[in-house]
Amino acid sequence: MRNYNPTKRVLVTGGAGFLGSHLCERLVAQGHDVLCVDNFFTGTKTNIAHLLDNPQFELLRHDVTFALHVEVDEIYNLACPASPIHYQHDPVQTTKTSVLGAINMLGLAKRLGAKILQASTSEVYGDPEVHPQVEAYWGRVNPIGIRSCYDEGKRCAETLFFDYHRQHDLRIKVARIFNTFGPRMHMNDGRVVSNFIVQALRGEDITIYGDGQQSRSFCFVDDLIEGIVRLMGTTDEFTGPLNIGNPGEFTMLELAKRVLALTASKSKIVQLPLPADDPKQRRPDISLAARTLSGWKPQTQLDEGLMKTIAYFDQLLSSMNSAALPS
């Protein structure tokens, strides 16, 4: 019955979040009918407000830990709080979101014969002994630590995806997403890019945990979305998991200094104790993605992405300050 219409019906769980909203925007621009599902724990209507009047976009408030009965052709499963502050707020619910959410979305995909993509994470590698991280590496994760609700929840979700693929011949894609940044990040999500930018713009101390020599790789959101859309479009034989991120590696101290320079802020850098189980280094090997996704690679340099993100937060803070002024 669907062969008559080339337009796809696409479900995006977590669609009002940082990544989800950019993905919804991209899919609508491609001409697809998009159903955005979110329980608004970390997502906001502001992120998708510009899409609400588009007839190809539909918003549904729903928690993926409960079954969902809709008719779609493809599913992008992005629902899960992704920053430590948010996923540690209710760790049991975080694990439920990853595991029960995966079960419910996989069950829906099985019933519909739909293709489904899991937004997994570089956190499945834990505090890695292999650097850079390749997809064949199994990881080094603490199963009982304060980050385990997220790390092990995502690892279990990957297990479920591959078991549904083997047992039910389900068409799956698994993307391991590395640190991503850009406009629409949550201002209070505790992630390093948003933290540094907001602190710099407010003239507050920039807080670095530990000695600042731990490293991360930062991918601009447009490059990340391009990667996962291309992954969904690969042949059914390719399932992943696939690293998607930017292999450029920077220490926290280097990032803080770049943010200070780009914002012309007078903020000072201060050091705080390192949180438990915080990975010392993280960088993706994206050679498989380059081969599989038609030569895909990140196009946005760090400073360019930071400037766009700084502009977003600058406007957001200005709006908040204007709203706070007495009328």
Provide the pLDDT for residue 14: 97
Is residue 137 part of the annotated active site? The answer reads no
3-state secondary structure of 214: coil
- pLDDT average, residue stretch 136-141: 94
Which of 2-16, 86-100, 280-294 shows the lowest mean pLDDT across its residues?
2-16
Locate 89 and state its tokens: 């707020």
* Domains defined for the chain, CATH in brackets: 9-181+219-247+278-299 (3.40.50.720)
pLDDT mean across residues, the chain: 93
Provide the pLDDT for residue 188: 83
pLDDT at 84 over 80: no
Q: Each residue of 273-291: pLDDT tens digit?
A: 877 767 788 899 999 999 9
Distance of alpha carbon 119 from alpha carbon 231, whole angstroms: 11
Provide the pLDDT for residue 114: 98
pLDDT at 144 over 80: yes
Provide the pLDDT for residue 191: 86
pLDDT at 1 over 50: no
Provide the pLDDT for residue 279: 73
pLDDT at 326 over 80: no
From residue 13, alpha-carbon distances to 43, 82, 117, 242, 325 in Å are 11, 13, 11, 20, 36
pLDDT at 85 over 60: yes
Q: Identify the active-site residue in 87, 125, 150, 164.
A: 150
Q: Each residue of 172-231: pLDDT tens digit?
A: 999 999 999 999 998 888 789 999 999 999 999 999 988 889 899 999 999 999 999 999
Q: β-strand 180-181 against 219-220: which pairing, if any?
A: parallel
Q: In this prediction, what percent of the chain has a pLDDT beyond 70?
A: 96
Minimal CA–CA distance to 31: which of 7, 55, 4?
7
Helices 302-324 & 252-263 angle (0-180, nearest 10):
60
Q: Indicate the DSSP class of residue 184.
A: T
- pLDDT average, residue stretch 294-321: 94
- pLDDT average, residue stretch 114-141: 95
> Considering the entire predicted model, what is its pTM?
0.93
Provide the pLDDT for residue 4: 52
Dihedral angle of Cα 110, 45, 176, 188, to the nearest 10 degrees: -150
- Give strand ranges (E) for 253-297: 269-272
Element (H, E) at 267: none
pLDDT at 171 over 70: yes
